[in-house]
Amino acid sequence: MTRVPNFNVTHESPPGQLHGRFETDEREAVPVRDGQPGFLRKYDTWLHGKWQDDAGSWQFCVATTRSKPVELGSYDVFDYYWGERAKLALDESLSWQHAEELGHDHCAICWSTLDSDALNDVYRSTEGDVICGGCFRQYVSKRSLEFIKPGVPRSKPHSA
């Protein structure tokens, strides 16, 4: 199972500005940089925003307006690159079906080129995301993050 960093949200002030600390031991580096965009995830809640380092005290500034306060506690941390892909694999609000047409020529998880001749092995989400059959079977249907390889972005995760 792929382990992702966690951020413990201790309070929200002002609205949309989450304060907290990373749940790491002293030997682990903080997994984000000041100004870096990313995602926080808790259960089925996904927050997109940007990190701010305030003299070692971290804040996550949520990019979208919310109608209710953010729940306090521990959130999974994803950088922007992996976060978009993790959301496709884990977000249970997305429905997937075989694509009837491509509209896009790369898999949104592994970036492999999609071929219109192989539409029977291409999937489209209710939000229009397109992925290859390999990523659907190995990650989306299993709700797996095994494609995340820290330090190895843009790899084709299910290639031999």
User: What pLDDT, in 10s, does the model give residues 15-40?
Assistant: 899 999 998 766 567 888 899 999 99
- pLDDT of 41 reads 92
1 in any annotated domain: no
Helix/strand/coil (H, E, C) string of the chain?
CCCCCEEEEEEECCCCEEEEEECCCCCCCCCCCCCCEEEEEECCEEEEEEEEEECCEEEEEECCCCCCCCCCEEEEEEEHHHHHHHHHHHCCCCCEEECCCCCCCECCCCCCECCHHHHHHEEEECCCCEEEHHHHHHHHCCCCCCCCCCCCCCCCCCCC
User: What pLDDT, in 10s, does the model give residues 81-104?
Assistant: 888 899 999 998 899 999 887 766
What is the count of structural domains for the chain? 2
For residues 54 and 16, state if they share a domain.
yes
- pLDDT of 44 reads 82
pTM: 0.75
89 in any annotated domain: no
Domain end, chosen from 79, 106, 130, is at: 79
Which range marks the domain in which residue 38 is found?
A: 6-79
31 in any annotated domain: yes
